Structure 1
Amino acid sequence: MISPNSKPSVVAVILAGGKSSRMGEDKALILWDGTPLLEKVCKVADECCQQVYILTPWPDRYLSIVKKEYTFLLESNPGQGPLVGLAEGLAQISADWVLLLACDLPLLDSIIIESWVSQLTQLPSDVFAFVPKQDRLWQPLCGFYRREALPELQHFIDRGGRSFQTWLEQVAVQVIPVDRQCSDMLWNCNTPNDLLASRGEA
């Protein structure tokens, strides 16, 4: 874990409130090399950030698989999507930057994430987000968001906005280039077939 005195302050918010409808079971609890996906993501986040938060409507479900050092944030309006989740996280956290992570990223690499963290000090103050972009699509669930983005984000949500892709096209974002190694890291498992394929069983 980086020193609490490092600047800027960076914390992780891991989203664990999705319906997992395509998977058919809670993705956060799926085992990857014997470890629940949520626990794997938490461990990487813990290596790169000063604090790890888990945003979920059902913290009791995950108490047995996360360390006591991690903090649960209760998702007050579940089912609204990750953009609303980001807003809830930013509203409850005082750090300079939030690293937003999905709970289904089994290939997260702490070395890559730490290299991105090191670049945050170089960003202009008017940049609200630092996000990978791949094949013309943002990869917002492995991206960094400045606390000052909250008013603009909340205004977008209040007008009915729920699309991360749309919001990121409207605010100042610094693109994180995605090479092959980063592309592999950003892979997530959405369906049982994805899971089987990743294990060479499909």
Structure 2
Amino acid sequence: MGYDKALLPLPAAEAKDQTFLGHLVCLALAHTPEVLVVARDQRTAALYTEHLPPGARLVVDLVPDQGPLMGLYSGLLAVHAPQTIVLAVDLPLLSPRLLAWLLSLPVQDESLCVPLVDQRPQVLLARYPRSLLNSIARLLAEGRRNPRSLLEVAPVRWLPEEELRSLDPELHSFLNVNTPQDWQALEKLLSTRSQSLHR
């Protein structure tokens, strides 16, 4: 979109100038005491610092500009919890119920917990065990950059769509913003929601 999505303003009357980053961090802090924001380089980290709510910690990729798999590795390395929810920054409609459910899932061996929507793995709204650090390091050494590559080498617990819909019937949690058209669709959806609430 020609702009860092983390710093886009949330298009809602009640948002009061809140960015995507600020909104998502506040939502996460309501459910867990440890929230990390991973920036790809020092310049991005400096921009994020201005918009970071109190209580969150900022981490910079160990090697800049190596893609989201490096971001995942850097975040898991810095976090203290054995299990971590990984969220893309452009998930403005993430359901608090869905987030709480992901956090509460019982630990089954060292599997990733990955939602499936339209049979597509949602690797940037998923739960990762910290024990996968060595596997991620090997993938990075091979030049891999996409978190989906981890699905080839790690055990996975798939979270079926029907289970997700019981918490978020329209699956709005998985809507992200990649294009101006996505942004317009988000504005329309939030406007419709707001009108429904005020009737």
Which bracket does the TM-score occupy, shorter chain normalised?
Answer: 0.7 to 0.9
Q: 1:138 aligns with which of 88, 99, 121?
A: 121
Alpha-carbon distance in 1 for matches of 2:147, 2:55: 29
Alpha-carbon contact 2:36-2:79 (below 8 Å) kept: no
Residue of structure 2 in register with 1:188 after alignment: 176
- TM superposition outliers: structure 1 runs of 4+ over 3 Å: none
Alpha-carbon distance in 2 for matches of 1:124, 1:200: 40
Residue of structure 1 in register with 2:6 after alignment: 28
More helix by share: 2
Specify which structure has the bigger relative contact order, considering alpha-carbon pairs within 8 angstroms and separated by 6 or more residues: 1
Residue of structure 2 in register with 1:111 after alignment: 97
Give 1:105 deviation, angstroms: 0.5
Residue of structure 2 in register with 1:12 after alignment: none
Alpha-carbon distance in 2 for matches of 1:66, 1:126: 31
Alpha-carbon distance in 1 for matches of 2:72, 2:45: 17
What amino acid sits opposite 1:36 in the alignment?
A: T
Alpha-carbon distance in 1 for matches of 2:139, 2:48: 31
> Which has the higher Rg, Structure 1 or Structure 2?
2
Structure 1 residues not aligned, in runs of 5+: 1-22
Residue of structure 2 in register with 1:74 after alignment: 60
Which structure 2 residues correspond to residues 11-50 of structure 1 after superposition, within 5 A? 23-32=1-10, 33=12, 34-50=17-33
- Provide closer, same or farther for how the CA distance between residues 38 and 155 of structure 1 changes in structure 2, counting only shifts above 3 A: same
Determine helix, strand or coil for the equivalent of 1:77. coil
Give 1:79 deviation, angstroms: 2.1
**TM-score normalised by the chain length of structure 2:** 0.81
**TM-score normalised by the chain length of structure 1:** 0.80
C-alpha offsets along residues 120-145 of structure 1, whole Å, 9 cap, x if unaligned?
A: x2x32232x11112223211111111
Q: How many residues align?
A: 176
What amino acid sits opposite 1:25 in the alignment?
A: Y
Which structure 2 residues correspond to residues 122-201 of structure 1 after superposition, within 5 A? 123-127=107-111, 129-178=112-161, 179-180=164-165, 181=168, 183-200=171-188
Structure 2 residues not aligned, in runs of 5+: 190-199
Alpha-carbon distance in 2 for matches of 1:200, 1:90: 35
More strand by share: 1
Give 1:87 deviation, angstroms: 0.8
Give 1:43 deviation, angstroms: 1.1
Alpha-carbon contact 1:133-1:176 (below 8 Å) kept: yes
Give 1:78 deviation, angstroms: 2.6
Alpha-carbon distance in 2 for matches of 1:99, 1:176: 14
Alpha-carbon contact 1:30-1:36 (below 8 Å) kept: yes
